[in-house]
Amino acid sequence: MNMKDIFTKALEEPLKNELSEPQIASLIEHPKHEAHGDLAFPCFQLAKSMKKPPHMIAQELSEVVASQEIEKAVAAGPYVNVFFKRRKISAGILEEILRKGAEYGSNTTGEKGNTVFDFSSPNIAKPFSMGHLRSTIIGQALANIAEKNGFNCVRINHLGDWGTQFGKLMCAYTRWGAEDDVRKCPIPTLMKYYVDFHEKAENDPSLLEEGRAWFKKLELGDGEATKLWKWFRDESLKEFERVYDLLGIRFDHVQGESFYNDKMTPVVAELTEKGLLTKSEGAYVVETGPGKPPCLITKTDGTTLYATRDLAAAVYRKTTFDFAKSVYVVGAEQQLHFDQIKNVLRKMGREWEKDMVHVPFGLILKDGKKMSTRKGKIILLEDVLKDAISQAEENIALKNPALENKAATAREVGVGAVVFHDLKNERMNSVEFSLEQMLTFEGETGPYVQYTNVRARSILTKARAEGTPQEGLEDDASWAVVKELHEFPDVVRRAWQTYEPSVIARYLLSLASAFNKYYGKVKILENDDCLGDRLSVVASVSIVLQEGLRLLGIKAPRQM
Ligand code: ARG
């Protein structure tokens, strides 16, 4: 019952000498004004081959375009505009949604191929930052969207748990740290040591040397270094778990950088064998092309780098998961890093590097500036989530004091607000951090979408029925909602093709707004012949809103 398919089919015969089916489909558009029709076909491109002006072609086509589902076709200048038989189409779409339920909109594009998602990936001994929040939220949504498009997803947390910085931390801890302080308040304390380290190292560069030595010990498996590292890691993970728990995030594997400690040697050996490694300014590097910075593989003391671990990880993931796609949800500032990794893999003859995709996103800014961990200026994610939840609690206490499960609902609403605030913007946009804006429960927000669904559910509860489409509906308000519902499968595809959860978020806002207009105009519960049809609109809207929210990683409370 896809209107675009129907229109494409109807144009196929008259245009069989001019355009292929996919070409026709790609030209079909939505008219600027609803009153002009449901879909439009522009004729400019045909003028040359048909040797006629576009408006004449449009006129001729409008006379021959016909289908059981098309009410009429009219020429409007160079366009053929079509109007569909609203009753027939709406009955068909509503029936499909009610039959398929949450499966509506799913497709099999991915053919069950494995897709690896590397997302969240915070650094231990540092707070979970707003930047990692973006990776977590976008990554979670993209993995859900990939599944909806027929892929099998492997969700990996590539924890930043290896590297020179842990050497620095061990140096700081052994020199001026206190076990009790770390136990009481792990991450802030460790972070303070790290900040202090950099301050002190400015006057005493020998500290840097000592830090490097500690990391070297760690890479070599030294007992004391390993014990300290493991302790820092465990304490950090405990805090991260709390955030994941609030957000409802799960991973299939927590394979941090340390996981690759024993998997880098073969990669470095291969690079050496293939003659790709060169010595440059005290390090071993792979040149990546004229004018491009080289990719650092090992330092002169033999210790490895961030890139070395990513190379080992890529090879491991290909071997282990035989991925169709491997997606890295990491900030745009790491563009160069991923270019280099792909470049090096290509040189190694791993042609599957073309299936690795870096999905970048913009920064979270505070007063127009990037937030930095180094200087200790950072907003703690857990605090943001907690503030959002208590704000939601206040709202509920005010608006619906009798609500059962207040605490659980407040959590779903508060977290939903934070997640939606991020996902409603295209991911490359930088987001100005504003707690106030995040917590607004009106306008273009998650709670607004959640509330629209609650409203739909409560109508169904009152009616004690989900409705069955009978004759279909044809009034403007219903048609506007049906057309939105009809878009969902396309929206799911587009969100995946562009790696853009905002496509789903914006869609949910426009479906919610169409439904709220419908709710304002139509007496849904009036007991007439169309009651079943109207209730099936309401039930379908609820199915699609819930499924859309689920894709974004947001819960849909039954009441709020
Ligand atoms: N821990 C890194 C950071 O915070 C992000 C890791 C991203 N994933 C990767 N495979 N490099 O910058």
Q: Of 370, 399, 427, at which residue does a domain stop?
A: 370
Q: Residue 156 C-alpha to ligand 1 middle, in angstroms?
A: 11
Residue 519's domain is classified under what CATH number?
1.10.730.10
Distance between alpha carbon 349 and the CA centroid of its chain, in Å? 31
Q: Which atom of ligand 1 is nearest to the CA of 160?
A: 1
Question: Residue 123: CB within 6 Å of ligand 1?
Answer: yes
Question: Residue 119: CB within 6 Å of ligand 1?
Answer: no
Strands (E), 360-496: 364-366, 369-370, 431-432
Q: Residue 124 C-alpha to ligand 1 middle, in angstroms?
A: 11
Are residues 254 and 195 both part of a single domain?
A: yes
Are residues 260 and 181 both part of a single domain?
A: yes
444 Ramachandran zone, left/alpha/beta (phi>0; psi -120 to 50): beta
pTM metric for this prediction? 0.94
Contact 470, 535 (CB under 8 A): no
In a domain, 101, yes or no: no
Are residues 181 and 324 both part of a single domain?
A: yes
Q: Residue 160 C-alpha to ligand 1 middle, in angstroms?
A: 6
In a domain, 198, yes or no: yes
In a domain, 106, yes or no: no
* Cα angle value 414/416/420 (rounded, 5°): 125
DSSP tag of 304 = B
Nearest CA, atom 6, ligand 1: 121
- Find tokens 């779409």 and name the residue: 93
Domain holding 60, by residue range, is 3-84
Q: How many folded domains does the chain comprise?
A: 3
Spatial separation of the C-alpha atoms in residues 340 and 346, rounded to whole Å:
10
pLDDT tens-digit profile, the chain (560 residues): 699 999 999 999 999 999 999 999 999 999 999 899 999 999 999 999 999 999 999 999 999 999 999 999 999 999 999 999 999 999 999 999 999 999 999 999 999 999 999 999 999 988 888 889 999 999 999 999 999 999 999 999 999 999 889 999 999 999 999 999 999 988 889 999 999 999 999 999 999 999 999 999 999 999 999 999 999 999 999 989 999 999 999 999 999 999 999 999 999 999 999 999 999 888 999 999 999 999 999 998 888 999 999 999 999 999 999 999 999 999 999 999 999 999 999 999 999 999 999 999 998 887 777 765 544 445 677 888 899 999 999 999 998 999 999 999 999 999 999 999 999 999 999 888 777 777 777 789 999 999 999 999 999 999 988 888 889 999 999 999 999 999 999 999 999 999 999 999 999 999 999 999 999 999 999 999 999 999 999 999 999 999 999 999 999 999 99
Strands (E), 95-161: 114-118, 152-156
Contact 153, 119 (CB under 8 A): no
Are residues 415 and 530 both part of a single domain?
A: yes
In a domain, 98, yes or no: no
Are residues 322 and 402 both part of a single domain?
A: no
Q: Residue 325 C-alpha to ligand 1 middle, in angstroms?
A: 18
Whole-complex ipTM: 0.99
**Of 128, 156, 158, which is best to mutate to test ligand 1, by the most ligand atoms within 8 angstroms of its C-beta?**
158
Contact 409, 167 (CB under 8 A): no
Are residues 353 and 390 both part of a single domain?
A: no
Are residues 502 and 531 both part of a single domain?
A: yes
Q: Which atom of ligand 1 is nearest to the CA of 159?
A: 1
